[in-house]
Amino acid sequence: MNRIDRLTGMILLLQSQRVITAEQVAAHFEISVRTVYRDLAALSEAGVPIAAEAGVGYSLMRGYHMPPVMFTEDEAAALFMSAEVTGPVADDSLRESLKSALLKVRSVLPQEKNDYLVRLRDRVGIAPRNSSADIRRESLMPIQGAVVRRKCLEIRYNTANRGAISLRVIEPLGLVFYAQNWHLIGWCRMRQEMRNFRLDRIAEWLVLDESFEDRLDFSVKEFLRESIECSDLTPATVAVDVAVLERFRAEMQGTAVAEKILADGRVSLELLSFSLPWLAQWLLGFGNRVEALEPRELREHVREAAHGVSALYSRDFVNLCTPADIGLSVGGV
């Protein structure tokens, strides 16, 4: 990025934040703090009203706004690609908002850049993922709004997907997407504890007028980390052929915690699995392209499952072969 583009971007960054530190600006543009100081001084000399408060950070004087900035071809394409990638994990409410936002972006683009996006749209596709993350209701954006505005939610929740519907009032604190599902993290007043609710198991929801106090000491990331550590998950290590590595990562149901390249070119992945027997059955789908390394119990599960598959098809082979065929085979050995 050249300096002119960076200075323009720095104004936009300041415009989007109430207060921001030099360190945060440096991290955003991947430059040194000293360079940030020089750039801020240059903007001030050019007449941009930047306010600085020691120990707090920098901000633009209230009322100052840059005129509308035209998107570059790459920026417009990046927004389009982001919408395409987000589509498979979005519900109707998010898809409609994305469509509306992109329409506004395209309305300010010159015709040649619009033509570029049309050609890009016709040549880009994202395959839908077969998962239960399809939230067939317009819930994502309203629930996201309740999280930001600190509004209580009343939900009818299908606990563990067993069909037992319970009515709960939740103080929503965060939304996260993991294990191919959207999850609502919030304080459950019925259980009087922090809980994790899958959005596809919320049968009905209602945003209440009641507000709740912000829990400043709560961190969604910390909650998820502790949940993983406290879960009954078993560590396992597998070696994956690079030819199927992308598919393995995309379909993986467990939680990956580490990976490294082995001497033979394969990639070693350390996973946290909720069930070794289930993991063994899933690994068989990759044939000899994936090997279970640890624990020994996992290797035994894979071996038993493979023997079971082999026995199933061996019966067909024996039934199809004539005694003469079997004799010839044995004699040949």
Does residue 192 belong to any structural domain of this protein? Answer: yes
Laid out side by side, the sheet with 234-240 consists of 255-261, 267-273, 234-240, 290-294
Pairing of strands 165-178, 181-188: antiparallel
Answer whether 182's CB lies under 8 Å from 226's CB.
no
Q: What is the pLDDT of residues 52-62, one digit of tens each?
A: 988 899 998 88
Does residue 86 belong to any structural domain of this protein? Answer: yes
Q: What is the pLDDT of residues 266-314, one digit of tens each?
A: 999 988 777 788 889 989 999 999 999 999 999 999 999 999 888 888 7
Q: Is the pTM of this model over 0.85?
A: no
Q: Is there a single domain that holds both residue 165 and residue 217?
A: yes
Does residue 180 belong to any structural domain of this protein? Answer: yes
When the pLDDT of each residue in the chain is averaged and rounded to a whole number, the result is 81
Q: Is there a single domain that holds both residue 45 and residue 113?
A: no
Identify the CATH number of the domain in which residue 194 sits. 2.30.30
Domain boundary among 230, 252, 268: 230
111 lies in which domain range?
73-122
Which pair of structure tokens corresponds to residue 109? 């683009």
Q: Is there a single domain that holds both residue 173 and residue 193?
A: yes
Identify the CATH number of the domain in which residue 29 sits. 1.10.10.10
Does residue 325 belong to any structural domain of this protein? Answer: no
Does residue 99 belong to any structural domain of this protein? Answer: yes
Least confident of 73-87, 111-125, 319-333: 319-333
Give whichever of 4-18, 91-105, 143-157, 174-188 has the largest mean pLDDT. 143-157
Q: What is the pLDDT of residues 6-52, one digit of tens each?
A: 888 898 888 878 899 999 999 999 999 999 999 999 999 988 899 99
Q: Is there a single domain that holds both residue 196 and residue 160?
A: yes
48: nearest Cα among 37, 34, 61 = 61
Q: Is there a single domain that holds both residue 209 and residue 147?
A: yes
Does residue 68 belong to any structural domain of this protein? Answer: no
Q: What are phi and psi of 218, to 5 degrees?
A: -95, 135
Does residue 327 belong to any structural domain of this protein? Answer: no
pLDDT category at 330 given cuts 50, 70, 90 is very low
Q: What is the pLDDT of residues 157-210, one digit of tens each?
A: 987 656 678 999 999 998 887 666 788 999 999 999 988 888 888 888 999 999
- Total domains in the chain come to 4
